[in-house]
Structure 1
Amino acid sequence: MKWVKPEIDSGQVRALARLHNIDLLTASILTRRGFTDSERIAYFLEEDERFLRNPFLFPQMEAAVERVLAAAEEEEKVLVFGDRDTDGITATVLMLETLRMAGLQAEWRVPLGNEDYGLNPEVLKAHAAEDFTLVITVDCGISNYDEIELANSLGMDVLIFDHHVPRENQIPNALAIVNPRMPDTYPFTGLCGVAVVSKFQWALTLAQTDIYGEEFCLILAEQAGAASSDKEDEQLVIRAL
């Protein structure tokens, strides 16, 4: 195999390296990947809290957080169901750690062997028989309409944390769906599965602090679009968090 690299302007690479205080190799990689706008490069490189968006911009994030907190209080059993690819495994691990740190009894499952992608009806039945009352999907679930109806019929609530595109006019009957690809939801659609879970982790952490009630009005105002164009509103919310 022969790697074919696009031609780049060496002068532009040197200018980017000086402007952003990065080495020439990094500057050349960014240029080849189409990063030539200074603001976009800053977004990619800088560890700046102004680029972090409020997790409660997901319209159903609050419902998901409240359900998990209720599960912790009632000592419910929770099943985390993910996928077996890298995104799915990391999302499963992060969700499992988040729930256990919050005091929940949580187990995990991903498709095994020749099992299909997504929720497995037999797994749901087996866990319902063991008194599991909450199912959380990560990196899957948005296309599991029948399986989620089954879970509901077995007395289990379902929370979906996914990033795949939902089918038009076919939304699963889950208690809450946190997915940047849902209509009228999070402003950045490019989040992967584990990134969606990380937003939930942030939201759940906030919900367990004393400032949750105090600052929630600010969060809701930002979500509703009472926003300035210079991102001051995001900074206020982040500092509140």
Structure 2
Amino acid sequence: MHWVLRTAELAPVQDLAENLGSDSALHLNNSHLASTLARLLVLRGITDIESARHYLAPSLAHLHSPYLMTGMKAAIDRLEAAIERKEGILIYGDYDVDGTTAIVILKTAIELCGGAADFHVPHRISEGYGMKDDVIERAAAADIRLIISVDTGIRALDAALTAHRLGVDLIVTDHHLPGKDGVPNALAVLNPNQPGCDYPCKDLCGAGVAFKLVQGLMERRLTR
């Protein structure tokens, strides 16, 4: 195996290293450290000091508004109403780390807001990937009136029709690419990769999309 190291142009590295070394907020008093860090940042496309500050010292204030994501207001309106009315909520996740993390993020937020939510993690072998009609049917029979998918659902067109037929509202939160037939006919679809969505970061994972829903919910409740 032969490793090929990427190279960075010298001028932007030197400029950024100088700015890093003189920035009191970053406390980089070592010129060699500043130079090495500048090279790594430039290789990642970060060439100005403001972007470097955001990368090295992130803050909640740097987060994009969740409302830049298509469908966010409708999703928050429905979730907040379900919490206030003590409705049954089911979080439909995925079996990988992204999906299970997304479940924990959303379930914790709902409980902090005074609501309650059950969750379903499909069995990798017996159920496989994606939303299944029988799970939605069992949820409806148990008086669940809101299902929120996390890290799954963007291609669950049939499942969305089943939910609608049973009177269950569906909010899809996902990051995978939609299929050629478009997105599900759900109450809201949150996915930065769906057509027409202007959310700036297209690289969010499933847990990241769930977090944006939580961010919007918490911001609304804190500004009351």
| TM-score of the aligned structures, taking structure 2 as reference length | 0.80
Once the 2 structures are TM-superposed, how far is the Cα of residue 4 of structure 1 from its aligned partner? Answer: 3.2
Which position in structure 1 is the counterpart of 2:117? 106
Consecutive unaligned residues of structure 2, counting only runs of 5 or more, are 22-27
Is the alpha carbon distance of 1:111 and 1:14 closer, same or farther for their aligned partners in structure 2, counting shifts above 3 Å? farther
Which position in structure 2 is the counterpart of 1:162? 174
In the aligned structure 2, how far is the partner of 1:53 from the partner of 1:157?
27
Report the RMSD for the aligned CA atoms in angstroms.
2.5
Once the two structures are aligned, what percentage of the paired residues are identical? 35
Bigger CA drift: 97-106 or 83-92? Answer: 83-92
Which position in structure 2 is the counterpart of 1:82? 93
Q: Deviations over 1:151-196 (max 9, x none)?
A: 2222211001112222345221111112212233233123222222
Matched, 1:147 2:159: yes
Which position in structure 2 is the counterpart of 1:55? 66
Which position in structure 1 is the counterpart of 2:140? 128
What letter is aligned with 1:17? Answer: A
Is the alpha carbon distance of 1:88 and 1:4 closer, same or farther for their aligned partners in structure 2, counting shifts above 3 Å? farther
Is the alpha carbon distance of 1:164 and 1:63 closer, same or farther for their aligned partners in structure 2, counting shifts above 3 Å? same
Matched, 1:186 2:193: no
What letter is aligned with 2:4? Answer: V
Q: Runs in 1 of length 4+ with deviation above 6 angstroms?
A: none
Is the alpha carbon distance of 1:166 and 1:113 closer, same or farther for their aligned partners in structure 2, counting shifts above 3 Å? closer
Is the alpha carbon distance of 1:168 and 1:79 closer, same or farther for their aligned partners in structure 2, counting shifts above 3 Å? same
Which position in structure 2 is the counterpart of 1:225? none
In the aligned structure 2, how far is the partner of 1:25 from the partner of 1:89?
37
Matched, 1:200 2:213: yes
In the aligned structure 1, how far is the partner of 2:192 from the partner of 2:74?
16
Bigger CA drift: 133-142 or 191-200? Answer: 191-200
Bigger CA drift: 144-153 or 77-86? Answer: 77-86
**CA contact 2:70–2:199 (8 Å) conserved in 1:** no
Aligned residue for 2:117, secondary structure, equals strand
In the aligned structure 1, how far is the partner of 2:62 from the partner of 2:193?
19
In the aligned structure 1, how far is the partner of 2:128 from the partner of 2:220?
35
In the aligned structure 2, how far is the partner of 1:130 from the partner of 1:68?
18
Consecutive unaligned residues of structure 1, counting only runs of 5 or more, are 213-241
Is the alpha carbon distance of 1:33 and 1:124 closer, same or farther for their aligned partners in structure 2, counting shifts above 3 Å? same
In the aligned structure 1, how far is the partner of 2:109 from the partner of 2:118?
12
Aligned residue for 2:145, secondary structure, equals strand
Once the 2 structures are TM-superposed, how far is the Cα of residue 56 of structure 1 from its aligned partner? Answer: 1.6
Which position in structure 1 is the counterpart of 2:19? 19
| TM-score of the aligned structures, taking structure 1 as reference length | 0.75
**CA contact 2:110–2:117 (8 Å) conserved in 1:** yes
Match of 1:97 among 99, 105, 108: 108
Once the 2 structures are TM-superposed, how far is the Cα of residue 61 of structure 1 from its aligned partner? Answer: 1.2
Aligned residue for 1:26, secondary structure, equals helix
Which position in structure 2 is the counterpart of 1:117? 129
In the aligned structure 2, how far is the partner of 1:78 from the partner of 1:91?
15
